[in-house]
Amino acid sequence: MSDEARWLNDAELETWLAVIGMVTRLPNELDQQLRRDAHMSHFEYGVLAALEHAEDATRRMSDLAYVCHGSLSRLSHVVRRLEEQNLIERFACPDDGRSTLARLTDDGRRRLAKAAPGHVELVRSLIFDELSEEEAKEYGRLTRRILDRITK
């Protein structure tokens, strides 16, 4: 309270308001497009994509939660729903009895391939059509530094 110096100045506030808008509106935008065109949320898309890029299209639940930026609980619920649609299958980890492995099925791969073009098109139109190549790189570098702070 006695520390006025720690308040945000005008320039900082302007930046901060833009950041709030971005982190609030962008997920909504991605969710809407994917729900409309591919009947999945952006988080679900991220789970499928994270599996596709993994060795054997397989990951431990906790690793998957980390790379998808979600809690293990959230992931567990989401994976159950994806499993019910046969997009993912779960099986015990042979190395560690506590772990569960999740693997992308062929159906899952097809659903992802169907969803990807429209999703990428939206990402491109919102970010990479707006910024020059160098601006986009700089934006990535700055964002990564902040993200590393958040992740600790």
Partner DNA sequence: TCCCATTAGTTGAATGTTCAATTAATGGTA
Partner DNA sequence: TACCATTAATTGAACATTCAACTAATGGGA
- Residues near DNA (CB under 7 A) are 28, 31-32, 35, 41, 43, 60-63, 65, 70-81, 90, 93, 96-101
Residue 132 interacts with, from DNA, its own copies, none (CB under 5-8 Å by kind): none
- Beta carbon of residue 144, minimum distance to DNA (angstroms, whole number): 22
Query: Residue 94: what are its φ and ψ, rounded to 5°?
Result: -70, -30
Asked if 126 interacts with its own copies (CB under 8 A), we say yes
Build a one-symbol-per-residue string for 57-86: x at contacts with its own copies by CB under 8 A, - elsewhere: -----------xxx----------------
**DSSP line for 13-61:** HHHHHHHHHHHHHHHHHHHHHHHHHHSS-HHHHHHHHHHHTSGGGEEEH
Helix (H, G, I), strand (E, B) or coil at 101: strand
